[in-house]
Structure formats: C-alpha cells, structure tokens
Amino acid sequence: EPEVTQTPSHQVTQMGQEVILRCVPISNHLYFYWYRQILGQKVEFLVSFYNNEISEKSEIFDDQFSVERPDGSNFTLKIRSTKLEDSAMYFCASSESGWGNPKEETQYFGPGTRLLVL
Amino acid sequence: DAKTTQPPSMDCAEGRAANLPCNHSTISGNEYVYWYRQIHSQGPQYIIHGLKNNETNEMASLIITEDRKSSTLILPHATLRDTAVYYCIVSLGSGTYKYIFGTGTRLKVLA
C-alpha cells in the first residue's frame, strides 16, 4: 500500500541553524501538507501546498518557514533559523485532491520527523 | 479551535467493542466527519469518514446521528494494538485544505 515517507526520522540541531525536513508524498497525490506536534500537545496545521504554491498557512508558519517541491517526488519544509520552541514532531501529509470527493480529499500522514533544537 | 469534543480517555477490554463518541454540534451541512488515530507519536492514521450515512470498512464502523451533531466510532473487536489516541475531525474538504485536531480520546485496550 502506498505511503508517505519522511526523512530523517530524527534531527538534532543547534539553535539558529537551518534545517530541511524531507517528505515523499504518495505518488499520484497533488496536495501536500505539513503539521507539527509539540510534545504532549495537539497536532497543528502549518501549511498546505498545491500546484507549486502555498494554498493556506497558519499563524505558526511565519517567515522562518518555507516549503518547496524541488522535483517530482520530494516536498520539503525548511526552517531558516531554528528556535528552541521549534522542537516538535513534524508530519507531512498528502491527499489526492482538495476538491469535490471526500475520499480523494482524505489526508495520509507520514511517520514524522522528530526535531530537537538545542 | 477544533469543532469537535471528545472524552479525554476510555478503557476497553480486549475482544470487546470500543465505542468512541464525538460531539460536533456546529457541523454544517456539507462538512464531513473524519476519524484518525495516533499510536504513540506516529503519524495520524486514517480510519474512516462519513457525511450522514453510517459507514463501515475493514477497520471500523462510523455511526452518525440523524441530526449529524454527534457520531460514534466503533472498533468491533478491540485488540491491544488499537491502544491509541483517536481523533474526530470535521472537515469541509473542498478548499479548506487543513484539518483542525482536537485533543482526541486516549483509548486503552486492556488485556
């Protein structure tokens, strides 16, 4: 069964450093998402992406964050200058579409990258 | 804020049915109810979704009340591997692009 994959599974970085989290969405999916979950807290939406553009973003997704689909398979989240409070699990998700058919709109999540900022 | 409320925790005996309730009293006519679960800190796993009819798949059944203000996820024969946090999410689907997660129900299946 196709699945979303994420690399690395764990990342430790120093405050102020840049990190890039990578995701390979399910191959025929067109909509991509990043969520994060701080330890012990809710899963929070960060951003959605379609057709090489951000479709929607949350207040958390400030200028320190960016997303990119550098090729036909990868979807990346970059944090330019990490802060201690960026420590969290980051989940990538993808869906076949965003419109019209709830089955196609269902989001499938990857296993996550645990980011620790020291 | 999440548009759903769920009990924070529930226990269920292994082999018995687990019935997880969710209130979504402000749901609008074209919003769907999705259920996901999260085992430990893994990525949320899709279980099932519905609009107004009851739905069943290989994992679970979803019962939605006639007024659509609440729903129940049923795991017919819970196993220890079903121990997880279960999230009920109301999503417009078309065009909203995001899920808003609540705190979910922590289901513990007991041997």
pLDDT tens-place string over residues B73-99: 999 999 999 999 999 999 865 556 689
Contact list in B for residue A112 (CB cut-off 8 A) is 41-43
Contact list in A for residue B91 (CB cut-off 8 A) is 105
Q: Is it the case that residue B25 has pLDDT exceeding 80?
A: yes
Nearest CA distance, B45 vs chain A (angstrom): 7
Q: Closest by alpha carbon to A48, among A111, A91, A8, A7?
A: A91
pLDDT tens-place string over residues A4-19: 999 999 999 999 999 9
Q: What average pLDDT does this structure show over B101-105?
A: 94
Q: Is it the case that residue B100 has pLDDT exceeding 60?
A: yes
CB contact under 8 A, A109 and B87: no
Burial of A98 per CB tally in 10 Å (0-12, 13-18, 19+): buried
Per-residue confidence (pLDDT) for residue B38, from 0 to 100: 97
Q: Other CB atoms closer than 10 Å to residue B59's CB: what's the count?
A: 15
Helix, strand, coil content of chain A in percent (nearest 5): 5, 50, 45
Q: Is it the case that residue A53 has pLDDT exceeding 70?
A: yes
Name the CA dihedral angle for B40, B46, B52, B53, rounded to a multiple of 10 degrees. -110
CB contact under 8 A, A109 and B97: no
CA A36, A47, A56, B87 dihedral sign is negative
Contact list in B for residue A4 (CB cut-off 8 A) is 43
Residue position matching structure tokens 């800190």: B41
Q: What average pLDDT does this structure show over A74-79?
A: 96
Residues on chain A bordering chain B, Cβ-to-Cβ distance under 8 angstroms:
4, 31, 33, 35, 37, 42-45, 48, 50, 55-56, 58, 89, 91, 93, 98-100, 102-103, 105-112, 114
What percentage of chain B carries pLDDT values higher than 70? 93
